[in-house]
Structure 1
Amino acid sequence: MSFFFICVLALVAGYFVYGKVVERVFVIQPERPTPCCEYRDDCDFIPMPTWKVYFIQLLDIAGLGPIFGPILGALYGPSALLWIVIGCIFAGGVHDYMSGMLSVRSKGQSIPEVVGNFMGMSARQVMRVFSVILLLLVGVVFVLGPAKLLGQMLGVNVQLLVGIIFLYYFLATILPISTLIGRLYPIFGALLLFMSVGVVVAMAVSGYELPSLSFATNTHPGDQPIWPLLFITLSCGAISGFHSTQSPLMARCIQREDRGRLVFYGAMIVEGIIALIWATVGLAFYDNPEAMQAVISAGSPAAVVNEVCNSLLGTVGGFLAILGVVVLPITSGDTAFRSTRLILADAFKIPQVQAGKRLLIAVPLFVIAFLISTQDFAIIWRYFGWSNQTLATLVLWASAIYFVQNRRFHWIATIPAMFMTAVVVSFILQAPIGLNLPPALSNGIGVGAALAAGVGFLIYAGRCCSGPVTDSAS
């Protein structure tokens, strides 16, 4: 377990060191009015205490991704731990901070509008489509997922639970953010804390150890290649485009720009720690990857969670820990629908102060979501990982453009943007849901696409340097 704690310390150090670098490059203005002060409407734009904004941001971004993704990522071996640490500090933290702070600087706009401000109308339209589809899928899955887990735990009819969760999501979507989300999330946060700390302590006390730390060895039982699959499979906990759809929610509630590092970068770091916990569980709890794969194949990563929690924490502790796991999808599903409402409102310029205008979007939105929930959309869901990371890639490129336009050190966004470009291009070219090209060819094209994008960006940067300097997000 010693390497696990080294990784945790690296993430904490990343927050205090690299997070501060990102903040300085962005150049915060602590006294500048934030959207909740300028556009307060007591529904979406509401000043909230920083601790509450932080908890909401953390629970917004931490769905089942930082649990299921790392469990699946652990099948590839210890390289999953390295990706979590490096990805979280240098890619995910930058992505989350910039998506939040650029929204703060853009009057609290949703992420498609923010990206469109820097990359043009075509990118804006692509982001709108990607975001809405991604959020609808997340919302529906995060109805069915927790309903099934609760049904198994409580012996309650799953369809009844689906109805109850849908009702909660609907209310959380249309009511002021302080009414339900602001009041329930601190309680949910306590359950999440218990789950995370409880599993770590139990693992350490029980004497579980990581296997040989051979980072170059791929241990996946299905012989799946680390590149690019690990970086698609293990997204939440390293870098996830879904986060950029959530950050604007808190960009409308944060009261000072100097709280952005804690709220946006800091929440990403804690999600990385949660991901480390479950990747370590996957590597240490089972004798070998084949044993964990057998459990996953018999059920899903949820079966791993159930087995681990009950084995390590007993019946009562396991129940509370699994309840903490259930909280994660619920606290991302509710804000997924809320974010969708706001993205559509921004796109069609529909004010959201009046309840009737919120219902105008929310009612058809939930009708569509319910219809999707009755369908077998397994094929569509296969595209989720790719579309999620493509979303993250676009946000990183938009951040790099912002830095260039304002004569700042763009490489903190450009390098991860190039890396993620290589990942998403390589994946879609070789995946069965894509062009199904040979790995060597698709990987070569992916790297070539990243280099071409980098060269094109540097040419653009050189041209920008000849113009006047302005804060392009003002």
Structure 2
Amino acid sequence: MVTFFVALAILVVGYFVYGSIVERIFKPSDNPTPAIANPDGVDYVPIPAAKAFLIQLLNIAGLGPIFGAISGAMWGPSVYIWIVAGTLFAGAVHDFLAGMLSERNDGASISEVTGKYLGPVMHNVMRVFSVVLLVLVGVVFMVGPAGLLARLTPEWLNVKVWTIIILCYYFLATLLPIDKIIGKVYPLFGILLILMAFGIIIGTIRNSAERPMMEFTFKNLYPGNVDGTGVKPIWPLMFITVACGAISGFHATQSPIVSRCIKSEKEGRRIFYGAMVAEGIIALIWASAAVAFFWNKDGSGTGLSALKAIGGGNSNSVYDMCVALLGKIGGPIALLGVIVCPITSGDTAFRSARMTIFDWFKLDEKNIKVRLGAAVPLLLIGYAISFINYNVVWRYFSWSNQTLAMIVLWAGAVYLATNYENRNRCWIAAVPATFMSAVSITYLMYAPECFNLGAKGASGLTVSYGTGIAAAVVCLALFLLTAYRNPKSSLERQKGIAIGRK
């Protein structure tokens, strides 16, 4: 229990200390934001800071900090250090830069922003990559809550029926102006999400005599590792699995939604950096609760095998934890929060996909017929993908999610190196970008859905590690060569490039 409260304290203090450092480096200006300078009544609508924070939190805090954190708990308390360090030094910096760079480019989608700072080839890659990731996210956040709702309702309301119902809601949220649905209900759901997380941790503390919260250890407790079979290394698997609970490229696709609504750049730290820290706290709560709940419940000496047996973080593990820790009344309330949480990220995933396509082809967001023409095909594709095995979709989402975060961090590093006289500001982004490059490429080499070198045992793991580290070094070298070679001309070139609505 001591570990949990220390980790929680570090996250809170980190927001004020490191968050302030990041803000001072970026230097928010007093220039009018896109919502103030060019409101359009659809996507560009001024929203109060408190409401914008809750919308951002709901946008980013889908199943990632819950399902991902619970799955990460299979490696044991070592997951705490990644949630804390990843949130403060990688995830929150990533979200802040994604939101503020979008805001400084007229609320442009992240594909347009990264294209500006990383070049035309990456521009087109990111356009396709972003839309694919957002559709995958929409599917993950559609099927997951549908499974939970099916467990709470009569048999005829099965997963397929709930999937269609959620899809209909996604259609409305994708199509209508942001203040008609999202702006009205998200703040209430955001409060519910926070209360639900606190309910889970209170329930865990109350049951600590039966299921004590484990203290931190670097030991890999993944089921199978204990008896020497089926080894699952912490790096890169845990770093990819936790996903949104520490850093998430999906957040970069969501930040432009809010960057088009903030009233001042000086709200950026509270909204973007702050929402990620809040998500890190939520992930910490679920991870620590899962370690305590499943480790002690198993009782067979193999540790977290009970969590592995039901597939890690999914609707079954969440349902079991909520009911056992909070009882018949608290359980359904907590489950409601878990259901609302992904739904309110899935709808904005499809909305962001629509916005990315509109920015890509310079379409008029005010024209409802054009919005309809983009929304319907996206939702139909999402519905078709929903029939694929959920665990397969989640694995591809996890890797593409962290890879996108890596790219966005490099774009932020380039911006900081080429738009400020003190180019050393860039290291707040360049260091986590280098680390995430190593994680993403290592996973690409190791994982079964990619090159599957992990199947070759220790030799495959060694090759995966070497390739990932070498790729990270190459990325860092390319960054130093391009961003540091002639920062003055780069700054002048960036000033001459504008991203705006046509």
Q: Structure 2 length as normaliser, TM-score?
A: 0.90
Matched, 1:259 2:267: yes
* Equivalent residue number for residue 430 of structure 1: 446
Equivalent residue, structure 1, for 2:479: 457
Contact 1:296 1:304 survives alignment (8 Å): no
**Could you tell me which residue of structure 2 aligns to residue 342 of structure 1?**
355
Equivalent residue, structure 2, for 1:14? 14
Classify 1:365/1:439 alpha carbon distance in 2 versus 1 (closer, same or farther; 3 Å): same
Give me the whole-angstrom Cα distance separating, in 1, the residues matched to 2:375 and 2:75: 41
User: Of 212, 216, 232, which residue of structure 2 is paired with 1:213?
Assistant: 216
Q: Are 2:142 and 1:140 equivalent residues in the alignment? A: no
Partner Cα distance (1:456, 1:138) in 2 = 30
Instruction: Map 1:359-438 to 2 at 5 A.
Output: 359-376=372-389, 379=392, 381-407=394-420, 408=423, 409-437=425-453, 438=460
Q: Which residue does the alignment assign to 2:248?
A: 240
Matched AA of 2:291: L
Shift of residue 454, structure 1, vs aligned partner: 1.4
Seen in structure 2, the aligned counterparts of structure 1 residues 468 and 374 have a Cα distance that, compared at 3 Å, is closer
Superposition RMSD in Å? 1.8
Question: Relative to structure 2, which stretch is displaced further, 296-305 or 40-49?
Answer: 296-305
Deviation per CA, 1:40-64: give whole Å up to 9, x if none. Answer: 1111000011111110100000001
In the alignment, the residues of structure 1 paired with residue 307 and residue 25 of structure 2 have an alpha-carbon distance, to the nearest angstrom, of: 46
Residue among 217, 232, 238 paired with 1:224: 232
Check whether the contact 2:223–2:304 (CA below 8 A) recurs between aligned residues. no
Deviations 1:107-151 (A, max 9, x none): 100000000000111111111121111111111222221112111
Map 1:38-117 → 2, pairs under 5 A: 38-117=37-116
8 Å CA contact retained: 2:140, 2:394: no
CA shift in 2, pair 1:121/1:466, >3 Å: closer
State the shift of 1:106 in Å.
0.6
Partner Cα distance (1:50, 1:406) in 2? 27
Output one character per residue of 1:367-418: Cα deviation in whole Å (capped at 9) or x when no partner: 2222222445754543221111110000000000001102341110000000
Q: Mapping of 1:185-334 within 5 angstroms?
A: 185-207=186-208, 208-215=211-218, 217-222=219-224, 223-287=231-295, 290=302, 292-298=304-310, 301=313, 302-334=315-347
| Closer/same/farther in 2, CA of residues 68 and 468 from structure 1, 3 Å limit | closer
Secondary structure of 2:223's counterpart equals: coil
1:182 aligns with 2:183: yes
Measured after TM superposition, the shift of residue 299 of structure 1 is 5.6
The answer as to whether partners of 1:296 and 1:303 remain within 8 angstroms in 2 is no
1:197–1:380 distance in 2 versus 1, CA, 3 Å: closer
Unaligned runs of 5+ in 1: none
Letter in 1 for 2:468: G
User: When the two structures are aligned, how many residues end up with a matched partner?
Assistant: 472
Q: Name the counterpart of 1:27.
A: 27
User: How far apart in 2 are the matches of 1:333 and 1:308?
Assistant: 23
Map of 2:467 onto structure 1:
445
Note the 1:150-169 alignment, pairs <5 A: 150-155=149-154, 157-158=157-158, 159-169=160-170
Greater displacement, 199-208 / 463-472: 463-472
Q: Is the 8 A contact 1:404 1:464 kept in 2?
A: no
* Identity within the alignment, %: 49
Scaled by the length of structure 1, the TM-score of the pair is 0.96
Tell whether the 8 Å contact from 2:59 to 2:344 is kept in structure 1 after alignment.
yes
Determine the C-alpha separation between the residues in 1 that align with 2:461 and 2:203: 41
Q: Classify 1:33/1:422 alpha carbon distance in 2 versus 1 (closer, same or farther; 3 Å).
A: same
What amino acid maps onto 1:277 in structure 2?
I
Q: Distance in 1 between matches of 2:73 and 2:305?
A: 10
Amino acid at match of 1:462: Y
> Which of 367-376 and 422-431 deviates more?
367-376
AA in 2 matched with 1:329: P
Alignment match, 2:2: 2
Mapped to 2, the partners of 1:76 and 1:380 lie a distance apart of 21
Deviations 1:408-462 (A, max 9, x none): 4111000000000111111111222222331101101211111122122222233
